[in-house]
C-alpha cells in the first residue's frame, strides 16, 4: 500500500493512494500526521507492538497496517504539507534500508517539485519579458541565468555579455552597495530582501526586490531616481507646511496617497487624542474614527473618498469623531487632494473643527420646536375649551375640520357639540363628565359618534380635563381634544370580520390551528384539521391539550416536552419552529412541522398561537434529494460501483421498511442476468439467479430486462412470470418482487432495480417514486462506472497501440507491413476478423487475413476497385466506412456473418477491413484508432515505395553505366575499324603509286579495289555518326517530323531498290510483297525511310548467304503496317525486350560477331514514337526474325500535314 497524504489541523486526506480506501481520516488517527513538523522520515516497524498505535483503527481494523514509512513533503520555506508513505500489513522488524529511505525522500521531493510546478503560472518567459520591472536570475554561484529586456536597458549591457558571468565580476562596484549584503542574507536565510540603493556607477536610485529559490535568486528592480527626487522636494515642502500648519486654528491632518498619516497639527492632536509621533505612517482609520450621530453607523473616511474620487469632499452632517480616550466631538469641514505640478496625486489634506457646542444648541432648538409642533398638532387632535358656567365653547380649526366644517361655520357654544353628538352617546358623555367632576375618574376619555357635515357619522376620541374650579370646587372650565378615530374603528370592524373569516377558513384547511395559554392548561381554539395532522380528535385536545403527545415518536417526545417547559418559563425566543414525527393511527408515520408564536390582545394575557403542517411529503422529497446528492457525490468521487449501489439500496430499504433491495446487471452479449448487488438477499438465491436467461417468463427482473418495462409481481405465487422460479423464491421466503429496468443515456438496458417483500403486497405511490429514483441513480452510477472502465480500456489500448506502431514502422516490405498490421489489430485491438487488401490490376486482393477473416470472407475476399464492395468504396473515396449494423446499411456488399464492419483506406495502396459478428461492437473510438493505424501504415508504405524508387534509380544508374561502357566500346570499334581501313588502304594506294615509275605501271585494279574499300569504310563511319546524330536529335527534340499521308508501299519499294545491291553482295534474296493499292499512312517520309533502312540493314546483316529478306506493306484496320522478315540467325526471345535500348546487339563488346553501333533499332523506336507508331519483334534463335511496324492510317493523300512534336 502507498499514498500521498496531506495534513491540516483537522484531518488527513489522500491526494493519491493505492491498496486501501480510506480517503480521509481524523488527524489524531493518521500515521502521516505523527511528528510531521519534527521528523523528515517517520518509520514504524510494527504498529501492533507500538503502544502509540495499538488502538489505532487503521491498525486494529482495516486496512490492518503493521509497517509504516513516510517521508515529509516539505515546501522550500520548510512547511510540511504531508507525507509520501508506504504501508504493509506485515511487520518489518528490520525497518527500512538506508537506500530505500533515500529513495522515499527523493520521491517526496519529486512530489513537492510537481506541486510547485503545477502552482507556477504558464508562459513564465513571456510573462517575464512583458512585465515592466527589470528582472534577472542568478544561480547558486552568482552567475546570470536569465535577463529580461528591461534589465538589459537599465544595466546598459546586453544579455549575451552577462549570461553565465558572475554578477560581482560584471559589476564589481555592486560589492560596495547594499546589494551584496542583502543578496547574501536572502540566500542564507531563505527570506526575500526589499531595499532601495543608490548606484554611483549609474547615477541612479534603484528599488530592488530579491527572492531566493532552490538553486539561486530572482531579482526584480526599477529605476526610482525620479521618485526619490520628488520625495526630497516633497520633504522640503512638508517642512515648510509643518510650520504653517502649527499656526492654523482648525485641526489639520495630511496623508500620503496610501492614506497613511504624514502630518497633523496641535489642534488635530488635541481632538484625536493622538500625538504626531504616535501616528506618523499609520492608516488614518486607526486614529480618525467617525460615525453618524443619528444612526451610529460608521461614516466613510473622507480621505479614502478623496483618494478614490480625486476631488474635494465635505463631511456629512451629524458626523461624530471619537477621540483616543473615548471623548466624542461633533466635527465639520472638508478634505482635499494634494497634487504635484503635473497633477499627480500625492496625498490628502483634511481640515476639521469642533462644532459640538454649536451642534448641541441647534439640536436643542430643533427638539423644542418639534415638541411644540407635536403639541399643537396633537396627533391630528382638534382643541376645545368649554366654559361650564356660561356654556360658551371655543374650537380650533382642526376640531371643526374633523366634522367637515370651517371654523367660521362652527357656533361658539356647547349646543353645537350636543347637536352633533349621537343621542346614544351624549348621555354617557355627561355621565363621565360628572364622574370626573366628582373625582371618580382622572379625566374624560371616551369614544363617541358625531355627525359629519355630509351626514355621516364619525368616530371621535373625546378626552378632556377640568382645568378651573370655583372656591367651592364647582367646575368652571374644561379643555380637551377631539381625535378622529373613524379609520381605527373601521379597522377594528374589519379585524372582527377577518377573524370570523379566519375561523371559517381554519375549519376547512389541511393545517392544524390552535390557540393555547402559555402554560398549555387549556385549548382555547383548535380547528378540525388537528385530527388529520395529529391523529387525535379535536374534542380530545380541547379536553386534554397534551393528548396529541401520545402519538409523538418516542425519539422526539422528550425534546418536545423540554421545549414546552422552556416556553412556560419564558426561556425561549419567539417564534418557535419544531419538526417531529407522529405515529398516526390511520396514516402511519408522518412528519409534522409546528410554528408557535406569542400573541396578546390589548390588556389580555399572552397566548400561544400555533400552526401544525403535515410535511411528510417535503421530508420525503428531502430524503430523496439527499439520496440523490449522496449517490452523485459517490459517483463523482470515483467510489467503487458496488459500494455506491450498496449504499443506494440501504437508503431505499431505510425508507421502505420490510423491503429488500437488489440491483442486477444485464449481459446483453449473452442475453443473461448477471448478479450485481443485493446485500440482504440470501447468497444462495443470488447464486441461483446469476446467469438466468433473459426472457418473457424470467421472474420480475429477467422479464423487465426483456420487455424494457416495469414488472410488478404483487404475489409471486400467482404471477405466471415466476412459474419457473416460484419454488426458488418460496424457499427463501420471498412473496413479492417489484422490478424496473435501468437504462443508460442511449436507452440501452443496463440491468434492473428490484424490491422484494416477504408478504404479497403492491407498491404505494411513494414506493413507486423511490423505485424510479433508485433506477435513475443506479443508471447514472453504472453508466459512469462503465464509462470510466471504457476510458481506462481506451488508454490501455492507445498505449499498447503506440508501443506496437514502432514495430509497424520497421517493416521493410508491403507484405511484412500487412502481417504486422494484422497482428496489431488481432492481438492489440482484439478484433478477430481482419484483412489487409492491396491493389493489384484494378482489384483489391487480400494480402493477409486472420483465420476467422479467411473463413468468413470466402468469396468476398477479392473485389474490384470499382465494384460495390464497401472496402472498394472506402478505397475509392479515401474515407473510412463504419457500419454498426450491416443489415441496416443500404447497398453494402459484405459477408453475411458480419454485423459490424469498418473499412479504412490505406491511401493509394489498398484498404484495411475489420469486422465483428455482433452489431454495434466496433465503437467510434476504435474506428479512430484504426484511422491512426492506417495513416501510419500508409506512411510506411510510402517510405517503402520511396526506398524502392531509390533502389530502382540505383539499378538504372548502374545499367546506364554499363550501357555507356558498351557504347564507348561499340563506338570506338565502329569508328576505329573504318578509320583503320581508310588509313591502311590509303597507305597502300600511296605505296602503289609511289613504287611505279610510269602511269602504266600502276595496278589500276588494286587502286579500284582499295578505293572501293576506302569508300565502304567511309560509308560505315558515316552510318555510325548518322545513327548517333539521329538518336541525339530525337532525344533532344531537335528533329522535326512532318506528318502527312505517305504511301508505305511506294516507300517499301524505294527501300528495296536501294538495298538490292547490298543484298546481292551478301548473297541474300530481297523480296518485296506489294498490294494492288497504295497503303496510306500518316507519317514523315524521311522518318519512314530511317525505319526501313535500319530494319533492312539489320535483316541483311544478320541473314547468312542463301537466306531471304521480305519487305511488305499492308493495311490492318485503323493502321498501316510495314513488315521486314528474314531467315537470319534470329535470337533468344527473352532478349527481344532490350533490342530497342541504345547500343544493344545480340553480341556486344569488341569481340562481338557483327559490326554496328546498336543504335539502329533505338532510333527506329524513337522515330515511330514521334509519329504515334509502334514496333514489335517476333524471333526465334536460328529461325529468323520479323519486325512489324504500325503507323496511323491516313484517310487520303491530300490530308493536311501535321508538325510532329520536338521531343520524345
Condensed to tens digits (0 to 9), the pLDDT of residues 801-829 reads 777 777 888 888 999 989 988 888 888 88
The whole-number average pLDDT for the span 698-713 is 95
pLDDT of res. 238:
65
pLDDT digits (tens, 9 = 90+) for 445-467: 999 999 999 999 999 999 999 98
The whole-number average pLDDT for the span 680-688 is 94
Q: Phi and psi dihedrals of 797, rounded to 5?
A: -65, -40
List, in sequence order, every residue forming a beta bridge with 339; answer none if it has no partner: 345
Whether 664 and 703 map to the same domain: the answer is yes
The whole-number average pLDDT for the span 402-414 is 92
DSSP 8-state assignment for residue 1199:
P
The whole-number average pLDDT for the span 957-974 is 67
C-alpha grid cell, residue 209: 526586490
pLDDT of res. 702:
95
CATH code for position 886: 3.30.450.40
DSSP E strands, 437-518:
444-451, 457-469, 475-484, 512-517
C-alpha grid cell, residue 478: 374644561
Residue tagged 391539550 (cell numbers): 545
Whether 700 and 583 map to the same domain: the answer is no
pLDDT digits (tens, 9 = 90+) for 245-287: 666 778 999 899 889 998 888 899 999 999 989 999 999 988 8
pLDDT at 932 over 90: no
pLDDT of res. 522:
84
pLDDT of res. 206:
92
Residue 952 domain flag: no
pTM of the model: 0.38
Q: Which residues lie closer than 8 Å to 340 by C-beta, 6 or more apart?
A: 230, 346
DSSP 8-state assignment for residue 824:
I
pLDDT digits (tens, 9 = 90+) for 1062-1076: 899 899 999 998 777
Residue 313 domain flag: yes
The whole-number average pLDDT for the span 398-412 is 92
pLDDT of res. 858:
63
Q: 813 in the Ramachandran plot: left (φ > 0), alpha (ψ -120 to 50) or beta? A: beta
Whether 805 and 885 map to the same domain: the answer is yes
pLDDT at 379 over 70: no
Whether 822 and 885 map to the same domain: the answer is yes
Of 223, 248, 274, at which residue does a domain stop?
223
Q: Residue 413 in contact with residue 419, Cβ under 8 Å?
A: no
Rounded-to-integer distance, Cα 337 and Cα 307, Å? 7
Q: Which of 277-281, 487-491, 622-626, 1114-1118 is predicted least confidently?
A: 622-626
Residue 983 domain flag: no
pLDDT at 1059 over 60: yes
CA distances from 456 to 421, 450, 459, 1030 (A): 12, 8, 10, 140
**Confidence band for 1021, pLDDT divided at 50, 70 and 90:** low
Rounded-to-integer distance, Cα 1208 and Cα 1205, Å? 7
**Confidence band for 779, pLDDT divided at 50, 70 and 90:** very high
Q: Please tell me which residue, 850 or 891, carries the higher pLDDT value.
A: 850
Helices 1004-1036 and 1160-1170, packing angle to 10 deg: 40
Among 522, 764, 509, residue whose Cα is nearest residue 614: 509
pLDDT of res. 242:
64
pLDDT of res. 1034:
61
pLDDT digits (tens, 9 = 90+) for 1137-1164: 677 776 555 444 433 445 555 577 888 8
Q: Residue 107 in contact with residue 84, Cβ under 8 Å?
A: yes
Of 575, 599, 614, at which residue does a domain stop?
614
**Confidence band for 922, pLDDT divided at 50, 70 and 90:** confident
Whether 451 and 561 map to the same domain: the answer is no
DSSP 8-state assignment for residue 682:
-
Residue 966 domain flag: no
pLDDT digits (tens, 9 = 90+) for 116-162: 766 554 445 666 777 778 899 999 999 999 999 889 999 999 988 89
pLDDT at 1208 over 50: no
Rounded-to-integer distance, Cα 1076 and Cα 1095, Å? 23
Contacts of residues 341-347 at CB distance under 8 Å and 24 or more positions apart, as own/partner, are: 345/257, 345/307, 345/310, 346/234, 346/256, 346/257, 347/254, 347/255, 347/256, 347/257, 347/262
pLDDT of res. 547:
87
Whether 784 and 835 map to the same domain: the answer is no
Residue 568 domain flag: yes
Cis ω for the linkage preceding 63 (within 30 of 0): yes
CA distances from 281 to 224, 341, 352, 536, 1005 (A): 21, 24, 20, 74, 139
Q: pLDDT exceeding 90 applies to what percent of the chain?
A: 37
Whether 1115 and 1137 map to the same domain: the answer is yes
The whole-number average pLDDT for the span 432-457 is 94
pLDDT digits (tens, 9 = 90+) for 865-890: 998 888 899 999 999 998 887 766 65
CA distances from 371 to 366, 377, 381, 427, 482 (A): 9, 10, 15, 35, 19
Residue 643 domain flag: yes
pLDDT of res. 142:
93
C-alpha grid cell, residue 758: 416477504
- Domain that includes residue 1140, residue range: 1024-1203
pLDDT of res. 372:
41
pLDDT at 761 over 90: yes
pLDDT of res. 1019:
65
pLDDT at 369 over 50: no
pLDDT at 892 over 70: no
Q: Please tell me which residue, 280 or 567, carries the higher pLDDT value.
A: 280
Beta strands 1108-1116 and 1069-1073, pairing class: parallel
pLDDT of res. 1179:
92
Q: Which of 369-378, 455-464, 944-953 is predicted least confidently?
A: 369-378
Q: Which of 67-76, 130-139, 800-809, 960-969 is predicted least confidently?
A: 960-969
Whether 266 and 282 map to the same domain: the answer is yes
pLDDT of res. 548:
87
pLDDT of res. 668:
85
CATH code for position 410: 3.30.450.20
pLDDT at 360 over 90: no
pLDDT of res. 890:
56
pLDDT of res. 683:
94
Taken as a whole, the chain contains a residue count of 1208
Of 568, 588, 614, at which residue does a domain stop?
614
Q: What is the number of domains present in the chain?
A: 8
- Secondary structure (DSSP) of 761-795: ----HHHHHHHHHHHHHHHHHHHHHHHHHHHHHHH
Whether 1076 and 1197 map to the same domain: the answer is yes
Q: Which of 302-311, 970-979, 1002-1011 is predicted least confidently?
A: 970-979
List, in sequence order, every residue forming a beta bridge with 256; answer none if it has no partner: 347
**Confidence band for 1203, pLDDT divided at 50, 70 and 90:** very low
Among 1166, 1170, 1142, residue whose Cα is nearest residue 1156: 1142
Residue 993 domain flag: no
Residue tagged 533468344 (cell numbers): 1132
Rounded-to-integer distance, Cα 713 and Cα 729, Å? 12
Whether 390 and 539 map to the same domain: the answer is no
Q: Which of 368-377, 515-524, 740-749, 929-938 is predicted least confidently?
A: 368-377
Q: Which residues lie closer than 8 Å to 831 by C-beta, 6 or more apart?
A: 825, 914, 915, 916, 922, 926
pLDDT digits (tens, 9 = 90+) for 568-593: 887 888 888 989 999 888 888 889 99
Whether 54 and 149 map to the same domain: the answer is no
Residue 976 domain flag: no
pLDDT at 491 over 70: yes
Whether 874 and 937 map to the same domain: the answer is yes
pLDDT at 862 over 70: yes
pLDDT, averaged across the chain = 84
Amino acid at each position: 500500500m502507498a499514498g500521498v497524504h496531506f495534513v491540516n489541523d483537522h484531518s488527513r486526506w489522500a491526494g493519491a493512494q493505492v491498496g486501501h480506501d480510506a480517503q480521509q481520516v481524523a488527524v489524531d488517527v493518521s500515521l502521516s500526521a505523527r511528528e510531521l513538523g519534527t521528523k523528515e522520515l517517520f518509520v514504524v516497524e510494527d504498529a501492533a507492538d507500538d503502544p502509540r498505535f495499538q488502538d489505532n483503527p487503521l491498525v486494529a481494523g482495516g486496512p490492518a497496517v503493521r509497517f509504516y514509512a513516510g517521508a515529509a513533503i516539505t515546501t522550500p520555506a520548510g512547511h510540511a504539507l504531508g507525507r509520501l508513505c508506504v504501508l504493509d500489513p506485515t511487520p518489518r522488524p528490520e525497518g527500512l534500508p538506508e537506500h530505500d529511505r533515500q529513495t522515499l525522500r527523493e520521491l517526496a521531493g519529486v512530489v513537492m517539485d510537481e506541486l510547485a510546478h503545477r502552482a507556477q503560472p504558464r508562459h513564465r518567459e513571456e510573462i517575464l519579458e512583458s512585465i515592466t520591472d527589470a528582472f534577472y536570475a542568478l544561480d547558486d554561484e552568482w552567475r546570470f541565468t536569465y535577463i529580461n529586456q528591461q534589465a538589459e536597458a537599465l544595466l546598459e549591457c546586453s544579455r549575451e555579455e552577462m549570461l553565465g558571468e558572475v554578477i560581482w565580476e560584471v559589476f564589481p562596484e555592486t560589492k560596495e552597495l547594499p546589494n551584496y549584503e542583502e543578496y547574501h542574507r536572502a540566500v542564507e536565510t531563505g527570506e526575500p530582501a526589499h531595499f532601495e540603493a543608490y548606484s554611483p556607477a549609474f547615477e541612479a536610485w534603484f528599488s530592488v526586490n530579491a527572492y531566493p529559490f532552490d538553486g539561486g535568486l530572482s531579482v526584480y528592480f526599477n529605476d526610482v531616481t525620479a521618485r526619490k527626487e520628488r520625495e526630497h522636494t516633497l520633504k522640503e515642502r512638508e517642512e515648510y507646511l509643518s510650520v504653517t500648519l502649527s499656526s492654523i486654528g482648525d485641526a489639520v491632518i495630511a496623508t500620503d496617497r496610501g492614506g497613511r498619516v504624514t502630518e497633523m497639527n496641535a489642534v488635530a492632536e488635541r481632538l484625536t487624542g493622538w500625538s504626531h509621533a504616535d501616528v506618523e505612517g499609520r492608516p488614518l482609520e486607526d486614529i480618525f474614527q467617525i460615525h453618524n450621530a443619528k444612526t451610529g453607523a460608521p461614516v466613510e473616511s473622507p480621505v479614502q473618498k478623496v483618494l478614490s474620487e480625486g476631488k474635494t469632499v465635505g463631511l456629512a452632517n451629524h458626523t461624530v469623531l471619537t477621540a483616543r480616550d473615548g471623548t466624542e466631538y461633533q466635527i465639520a469641514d472638508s478634505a482635499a487632494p494634494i497634487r504635484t505640478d503635473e497633477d499627480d496625486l500625492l496625498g490628502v489634506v483634511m481640515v476639521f473643527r469642533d462644532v459640538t457646542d454649536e451642534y448641541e444648541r441647534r439640536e436643542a432648538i430643533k427638539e423644542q420646536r418639534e415638541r411644540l409642533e407635536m403639541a399643537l398638532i396633537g396627533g391630528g387632535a382638534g382643541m376645545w375649551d368649554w366654559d361650564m358656567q356660561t356654556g360658551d365653547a371655543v374650537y380650533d380649526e382642526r376640531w371643526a375640520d374633523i366634522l367637515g366644517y370651517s371654523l367660521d361655520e362652527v357656533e361658539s357654544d356647547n349646543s353645537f357639540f350636543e347637536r352633533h353628538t349621537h343621542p346614544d352617546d351624549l348621555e354617557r358623555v355627561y355621565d363621565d363628565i360628572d364622574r370626573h367632576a366628582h373625582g371618580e375618574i382622572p379625566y374624560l376619555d371616551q369614544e363617541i359618534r358625531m355627525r359629519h357635515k355630509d351626514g355621516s357619522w364619525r368616530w371621535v376620541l373625546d378626552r378632556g380635563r377640568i382645568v378651573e374650579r370655583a372656591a367651592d370646587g364647582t367646575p368652571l372650565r374644561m379643555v380637551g381634544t377631539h381625535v378622529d378615530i373613524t379609520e381605527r374603528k373601521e379597522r377594528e370592524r374589519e379585524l372582527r370580520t377577518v377573524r370570523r373569516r379566519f375561523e371559517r377558513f381554519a375549519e376547512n384547511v389541511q393545517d392544524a390551528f390552535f390557540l393555547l395559554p402559555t402554560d398549555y392548561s387549556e385549548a382555547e381554539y383548535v380547528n378540525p384539521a388537528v385530527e388529520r395532522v395529529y391523529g387525535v380528535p379535536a374534542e380530545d385536545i380541547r379536553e386534554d391539550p397534551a393528548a396529541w403527545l401520545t402519538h409523538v415518536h418516542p425519539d422526539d417526545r422528550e425534546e418536545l416536552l423540554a421545549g414546552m417547559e422552556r416556553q412556560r418559563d419564558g426561556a425561549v425566543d419567539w417564534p418557535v419552529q419544531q419538526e417531529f414525527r407522529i405515529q398516526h393511527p390511520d396514516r402511519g408515520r408522518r412528519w409534522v412541522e409546528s410554528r408557535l408564536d406569542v400573541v396578546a390582545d390589548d390588556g389580555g394575557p399572552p397566548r400561544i398561537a400555533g400552526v401544525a403542517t403535515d410535511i411528510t411529503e417535503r421530508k420525503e422529497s428531502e430524503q430523496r434529494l439527499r439520496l440523490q446528492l449522496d449517490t452523485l457525490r459517490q459517483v463523482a468521487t470515483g467510489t467503487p460501483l458496488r459500494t455506491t449501489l450498496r449504499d443506494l439500496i440501504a437508503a431505499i430499504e431505510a425508507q421502505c421498511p420490510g423491503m429488500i433491495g437488489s440491483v442486477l446487471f444485464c449481459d446483453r452479449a449473452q442475453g443473461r442476468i448477471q448478479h450485481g448487488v443485493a446485500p440482504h438477499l440470501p447468497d444462495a438465491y443470488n447464486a441461483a439467479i446469476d446467469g438466468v436467461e433473459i426472457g418473457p417468463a424470467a421472474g420480475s427482473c429477467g422479464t423487465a430486462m426483456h420487455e424494457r418495462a416495469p414488472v410488478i409481481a404483487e404475489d409471486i405465487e400467482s404471477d405466471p412470470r415466476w412459474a419457473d422460479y416460484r419454488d426458488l423464491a418460496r424457499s427463501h421466503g420471498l412473496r413479492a418482487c417489484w422490478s424496473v429496468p435501468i437504462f443508460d443515456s442511449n436507452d440501452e438496458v443496463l440491468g434492473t432495480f428490484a424490491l422484494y417483500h416477504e408478504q404479497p403486497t403492491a407498491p404505494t405511490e411513494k414506493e413507486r417514486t423511490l423505485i424510479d429514483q433508485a433506477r435513475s441513480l443506479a443508471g447514472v452510477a453504472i453508466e459512469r462506472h462503465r464509462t470510466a472502465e471504457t476510458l481506462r480500456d481506451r488508454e490501455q489500448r492507445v498505449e499498447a497501440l503506440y508501443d506496437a506502431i514502432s514495430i509497424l514502422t520497421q517493416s521493410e516490405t508491403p507484405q511484412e507491413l500487412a502481417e504486422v498490421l494484422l497482428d496489431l489489430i488481432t492481438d492489440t485491438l482484439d478484433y478477430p476478423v481482419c484483412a489487409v487488401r492491396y491493389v493489384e490490376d484494378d482489384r483489391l486482393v487480400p494480402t493477409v487475413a486472420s483465420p476467422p477473416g479467411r473463413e468468413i470472407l470466402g468469396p468476398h475476399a477479392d473485389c474490384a476497385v470499382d465494384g460495390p464492395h464497401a472496402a472498394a468504396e472506402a478505397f475509392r473515396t479515401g474515407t473510412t466506412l463504419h457500419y454498426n449494423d450491416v443489415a441496416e446499411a443500404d447497398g453494402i456488399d459484405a459477408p453475411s456473418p458480419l454485423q459490424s464492419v469498418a473499412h479504412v483506406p490505406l491511401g493509394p495502396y489498398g484498404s484495411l477491413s475489420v469486422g465483428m459478428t455482433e452489431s454495434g461492437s466496433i465503437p467510434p473510438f476504435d474506428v479512430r484508432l484504426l484511422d491512426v493505424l492506417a495513416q501510419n501504415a500508409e506512411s510506411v508504405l510510402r517510405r517503402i515505395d520511396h526506398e524502392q524508387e531509390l533502389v530502382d534509380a540505383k539499378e538504372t544508374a548502374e545499367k546506364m553505366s554499363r550501357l555507356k561502357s558498351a557504347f564507348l566500346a561499340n563506338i570506338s570499334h565502329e569508328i576505329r575499324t573504318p578509320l583503320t581501313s581508310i588509313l591502311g588502304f590509303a597507305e597502300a594506294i600511296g605505296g602503289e603509286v609511289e613504287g611505279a615509275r610510269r602511269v602504266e605501271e600502276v595496278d589500276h585494279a588494286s587502286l579500284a579495289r582499295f578505293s572501293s574499300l576506302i569508300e565502304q569504310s567511309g560509308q560505315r563511319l558515316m552510318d555510325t555518326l548518322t545513327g548517333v546524330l539521329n538518336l541525339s536529335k530525337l532525344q533532344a527534340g531537335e528533329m522535326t517530323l512532318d506528318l502527312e499521308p505517305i504511301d508505305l508501299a511506294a516507300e517499301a519499294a524505294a527501300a528495296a531498290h536501294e538495298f538490292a545491291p547490298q543484298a546481292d553482295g551478301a548473297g541474300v534474296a530481297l523480296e518485296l510483297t506489294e498490294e494492288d493499292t497504295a497503303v496510306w499512312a500518316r507519317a514523315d517520309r524521311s522518318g519512314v525511310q530511317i525505319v526501313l533502312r535500319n530494319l533492312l540493314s539489320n535483316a541483311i546483316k544478320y541473314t547468312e548467304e542463301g537466306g531471304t529478306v521480305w519487305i511488305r506493306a499492308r493495311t490492318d484496320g485503323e493502321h498501316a503496317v510495314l513488315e521486314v522478315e528474314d531467315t537470319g540467325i534470329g535470337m533468344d526471345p527473352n532478349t527481344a525486350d532490350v533490342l530497342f535500348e541504345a547500343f544493344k546487339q545480340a553480341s556486344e563488346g569488341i569481340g562481338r560477331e557483327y559490326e554496328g553501333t546498336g543504335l539502329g533499332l533505338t532510333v527506329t523506336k524513337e522515330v515511330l514514337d514521334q509519329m504515334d507508331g509502334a514496333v514489335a519483334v517476333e524471333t526465334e534463335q536460328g529461325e529468323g526474325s520479323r519486325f512489324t511496324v504500325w503507323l496511323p492510317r491516313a484517310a487520303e493523300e491530300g490530308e493536311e500535314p501535321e508538325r510532329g512534336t520536338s521531343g520524345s
